[in-house]
Amino acid sequence: MTKSIDNNGDNGAMETRYADLKDKIVLVTGGASGLGYAIAKAFALNRSTVVIAGRDEAKLKAAKKALGRKVHCIPFDVNDLDRLPSLVHKIERSIGGVDVLVNNAGINLKKDAFHVTNEEYQKIIQTNQTAVFALSREVAKTMVGRGTGNIIMISSMASRYGIPKVIGYTASKAAVEGMTRALAVELATYGIRVNCIAPGFIKTDMSSRALDDDPERKRKVLARTPMGTLGEPSDIAHAALFLASTQSKFVTGIVLPVDGGNSIGF
Ligand code: NDP
């Protein structure tokens, strides 16, 4: 059976409910697959104009085809730091100023800390941390003029407790949570809110790679998740909609676990 682009059987059922998100311009990095795709879909269903960016052009085109007319795709590697300002200006010129940035693109590496090379560590930090800061900075500069804006980060349970064999990923995601608080304080005065979603274990290709060949880890994950199941990508998308909408207009600097209780499981 061909796997649908809506990953792992999650149909992402999403009622339209945030009227204020209509016509907002939403940039989702890594929006062609997994959580990013579910987030892009949720905003599109709320009649936002969505821009998805990622490295794989074929994946982007397939996502655009599935998501419809109001979704634009831009092939882009977020590690191309020097070109981030021109990416933001290109979107501003051709589509409009970015109202909501969802820093979703991320990579993981599962390997004993002893064997992680400096290059491997640096690559994860660059994608999951440095690029997140650099893109947030460039988008925030354009939001300042409009006196409003919304930045959403994606961290992980790895930033909350020690998971073995994911050292670079853990360090980068802990940094993202710190960055959320620091940026939220600095940007609040410009009307820009910055929040973070900490997904628990959600059914996507990334989590399959980490769990499917490691039944012991999967058992542990489910055992410490009070709700006893992995989450759906649409669970994360619902949280992103809330954080982007005016319904959360007095919320900034938070890290919202969406994890079936995993972070507080005994
Ligand atoms: P996927 O691997 O399915 O998706 C990651 C996306 O990021 C892809 O679309 C990929 O697109 C994009 N991406 C990766 N590197 C780059 C880059 N250099 N430039 C542009 N885009 C890039 O993972 P998930 O959907 O599972 O993860 C999404 C986010 O959620 C990540 O930040 C991850 O850390 C986080 N997360 C996921 C959890 C889960 O259980 N699934 C749990 C906790 C956090 P392309 O390859 O085309 O560039």
In the prediction, which pLDDT does 15 show? 61
> What are the structural domain ranges in the chain?
20-257
Are the beta carbons of 145 and 192 closer than 8 angstroms?
Answer: no
98 C-alpha vs ligand 1 centroid, how far in Å?
20
* 82-96 confidence digits (pLDDT tens): 999 999 999 999 999
In the prediction, which pLDDT does 2 show? 33
The answer for 74, left when phi > 0, alpha when psi is -120 to 50, beta otherwise, is beta
- Ranges under pLDDT 50 in the chain: 1-3, 8
- Among the listed residues 18, 37, 121, 169, the single catalytic one is 169
C-alpha distances (whole Å) from 1 to each of 4, 9, 100, 242 are: 9, 12, 36, 34
In the prediction, which pLDDT does 206 show? 85
Q: What is d(CA 265, CA 232) in angstroms, rounded to the nearest whole number?
A: 19
* 56-81 confidence digits (pLDDT tens): 999 999 999 999 988 999 999 999 99
Vertex 104 angle, CA 186 and 29, to 5°: 100
Please give the number of the atom of ligand 1 that sits closest to the Cα of 60. Answer: 47
Are the beta carbons of 155 and 255 closer than 8 angstroms?
Answer: yes
Structural fold of domain 20-257: Rossmann fold (3.40.50)
User: What is the value of pTM for the model shown?
Assistant: 0.95
Query: CA torsion, points 104, 37, 243, 156, in degrees to nearest 10?
Result: -40
189 C-alpha vs ligand 1 centroid, how far in Å?
31
In the prediction, which pLDDT does 266 show? 87
208 C-alpha vs ligand 1 centroid, how far in Å?
12
